[in-house]
Amino acid sequence: MVDLIWLVIALPLLGAVGLLFLGKRIGEPNSGRIATLLVIASFFIALIAALPAFGGDFEGENIFLFEWLPALGVNFSLLWDPLSAMMTLVVTGVGALIHIYGTGYMDGDSRYPRFFTYLNLFIASMLILVLGDSFATMFVGWELVGLSSYLLISFWFEKPSAAAAGKKAFIVNRIGDFGFLIALMIIFATFGSLSYDTVFGNADKLQVGGATVTAITLLLLVGAVGKSAQLPLYVWLPDAMEGPTPVSALIHAATMVTAGVYMIARSASLFSIAPVSSGVVATVGALTALFAAIIAIGQRDIKRVLAYSTISQLGYMFMAVGATAYVAGVFHLLTHAFFKALLFLGAGAVIHGMHGEQDMWKMGGLRKKMPIAFGTMVVAWLAISGIPPFAGFWSKDEILAITYGKGGAWV
């Protein structure tokens, strides 16, 4: 089944292309059903292929697809290891649930087929990012994720605020992407290839804490800061709430903002020999976690509160990977994906029930009117608060325990 892992990307990509040309003819609700079924199929393929990866003795497997950039020492190949398997299951699993939710949430929208075209493209783009076996492939997925987010955040472009939010997200992310691109140039100049095998296999030949590895990792951090909305490039994410609620859930839980954490975790071989860069990652994460949490307290819009909450939680993850607690950081990425998706989808139900109202000061007494939404929101906020035995308790406490044990800087 591992040899067929390319289908995990191909199915949602096929859905995006097919709905782009045939979406209007297929119409509502079948276009949404097709898009959803393709993502569900990707999830089950990934689940079957992931079973050996979680057996404890699986180191990874490369799946060659075709020759791509021989001058850069890069083929278009996929890497299937425990990290990419976990990320793939998060993207397709949470993504499938959000697709199901979206079929009802977008009911009656005049551009219903186009919405699911973009949603399938978003899933496929993130899968290219996490499954590629080189920095070049990651960069392709990285840019496609940026494009998809622009299309979805500004989906209701008739609203000036939505159009402006899409542009803001696109432009701010280009700042981070510039740092990522410079890092790729230095990586190629240093190693003669962008392949993970070559780069990580020869990382130990670099001087620990040397100028080259420090420059590479700091520039990679610039890219991660933009994509994962950390200080100072966090400003695009709160405005991304202008997109439909399923988009907000997908961006915050399973796709775009997790890309920066994934990139640092994937590049652990480089960051582990760059102590200055790792310290900067941890400091940025800790400051962002505190900063965003304080801002969230003063918000009235229910989706903006969740947006700043996401920025804060991503700060936790950055703090973890900066302290070289890569497993703990990725574990929190996993738990956060589920409870943050639940919070956003619950918020979408509340907004729908309130006929579009998002001001929390105008809400109250909804427990009796919307008991199911109330129950799901309670479970989600118990998890995000780190209350045992909910998922957030295990991942948050693991991060705090490891970072405390590391000692060092006051953050």
Q: Is residue 143 one of the residues assigned to a domain?
A: no
Q: Is residue 25 one of the residues assigned to a domain?
A: yes
Contacts of 249 (CB under 8 A, 6+ apart): 98, 101, 340, 341, 344, 345, 348
Q: Is residue 153 one of the residues assigned to a domain?
A: no
Q: Specify the pLDDT at position 255.
A: 79
Q: Is residue 141 one of the residues assigned to a domain?
A: no
pTM above 0.85, yes or no: yes
Q: If residue 62 lies in a helix (H) or strand (E), which one and from where to where?
A: strand 61-69
pLDDT tens series, the chain, 411 aa? 788 999 999 999 999 999 999 999 998 899 999 999 999 999 999 999 998 877 666 778 889 988 888 877 778 899 999 999 999 999 999 999 999 999 998 998 889 999 999 999 999 999 999 999 999 999 999 999 999 999 999 999 999 999 999 999 999 999 999 999 999 999 999 999 999 999 999 998 999 999 999 999 999 999 999 999 999 999 999 998 888 989 988 888 877 899 999 999 999 999 999 999 999 999 999 999 999 999 999 999 999 999 999 999 999 999 999 999 999 999 999 999 999 999 999 998 999 889 888 899 988 888 888 999 999 999 998 999 999 999 999 999 899 888 887 765 555
Residues 257 and 171 in one domain: yes
Alpha helices in 245-274 (DSSP H): 245-253, 259-266, 268-271
Q: Is residue 242 one of the residues assigned to a domain?
A: yes
Q: Specify the pLDDT at position 143.
A: 96
Tally of domains within the chain? 2
Residues 67 and 188 in one domain: no
Assess contact for 339 and 316: CB atoms under 8 A: no
Residues 238 and 296 in one domain: yes
Q: Specify the pLDDT at position 178.
A: 96
Q: Specify the pLDDT at position 410.
A: 52
Closest CA to 175 of 216, 261, 234: 234
Contacts of 234 (CB under 8 A, 6+ apart): 288, 292, 311
Q: Is residue 140 one of the residues assigned to a domain?
A: no
Structural domain range at position 2? 1-133
Residues 359 and 262 in one domain: yes
State the Cα–Cα distance between residues 370 and 97, nearest whole angstrom: 20
Residues 76 and 220 in one domain: no
Domain final residue, candidates 133, 148, 170: 133
Residues 235 and 378 in one domain: yes
Residues 203 and 309 in one domain: yes
